[in-house]
Amino acid sequence: MKVSVIIPLYNDEKYLAVCLESLLIQTFTDFEVIVVDDCSTDSSLAIVESYLEKFGGRLKVFSLEENTGSGAVPRNIGLEIASGKYVYFMDSDDLMIDNALETLYNFAEEYQAEVVYMERGFTCGAELVPQNLTEVFWNPPRFTSEKPILESENLSERVEKFLKLAIGMPPWEKFLRRDFLIENRIKFPAIKISEDIIWTFKLLCKAKNFLRLPTALYIQRENFSSMTRQNRSLEQELLFWTNPLLRGVDCLNDFMNEIIFFKMNAPIKFAVLNFFAKIQFDFMAETFKSLEPQEAYEIILREFSKVGTSQPALIAYLLVMNNLFRNELAK
């Protein structure tokens, strides 16, 4: 099998069939589909099972015993099951252009790329089958080349682009060689949000051939029922972002401690940690506006006290407080 398409699934009965149909019409057929169900409570699992015969043995379904609350664990399990030379992580409510897998596979082979990164894509709304697609650039600065470009192997340059958001974070933007992920132990950290930021950073640091592809091949659906848009109390919202901040900083810190470049460049290491913390903080910003400063500080202190005084925890605490004070001064 040349390609394994891995799809984490949770309660997506409305769009799942359209997603699977977009895979059935692929011009490239030497691929398998691995669906990892995270304890769906709707008819999603039944829909997948109804497609088993259509894929002629190329569709595998794995059901988790307990809900994990994010796509991280399902994607990691899918990677363990996968047998393809390449893997591709797709979302269950999105679609692929009919020649997407063929195009990605051919470019990966031609450039011997560990990572093929799609710079462009299409967006669609809530309509079941999109009629009018809007081609977009996912990330600034805009990619102007009409030809594939291999990213510089200079790690300093790659980190700079990462910090400037010139590299996108979503998993479905990357087509990856499976042995590269396994050999470098690159998995999604088991956190409920922002796990793709950490995962993408590891790809940038470890891949020798990181290919930027200008061709739009994927259709991403704007899903307004996502986890980040659920209704929560002010305290719940604050804690929702604080937990991945703590665990994310820990994960990034451990990863960079193993790389000589970051040992020799402490300011760059701190910039990466602060970048990650600021993203979480920006999501919390509206909540902070609705709380008294003392109230916000007490919630954060209470959460940080649970993890003790490890170096990553202290770093995360300092980063949050740094952004908090900046926010207060900017008022």
Report the catalytic residues: 196
DSSP structural state of residue 171: G
Write the CB contacts of 142 (distance below 8 Å, at least 6 apart in sequence): none
Torsion 99-100-103-106 (CA) sign = negative
Q: The tokens 């919202």 sit on which residue?
A: 237
162/152 Cα distance (integer angstroms): 13
143 DSSP 8-state letter: P
The answer to whether 298 and 304 have CB atoms below 8 angstroms apart is no
- In DSSP notation, 203-267 reads HHHH-S-EEEE----EEEE--TTSGGGS---HHHHHHHHHHHHHHHHHHHHHHHHT-HHHHH-HH
Which tokens in the block code for residue 185? 């132990």
For residue 69, the tally of other CB atoms under 10 A from its CB is 15
Tokens read off for 261: 């470049």
Strand partners, 137: 120
Q: List all residues 6 or more positions away from 262 whose beta carbon is below 8 Å from its beta carbon.
A: 256, 268, 269, 272
Which residue reads 């990213």 in tokens? Answer: 151
Closest to 300 (Cα-Cα) out of 311, 38, 287, 310: 287
- DSSP letters, 108-119, are HHHHT-SEEEE-
**What element of type H or E holds 79?**
helix 72-81
Phi, psi of 304 (to 5 degrees): -70, -30
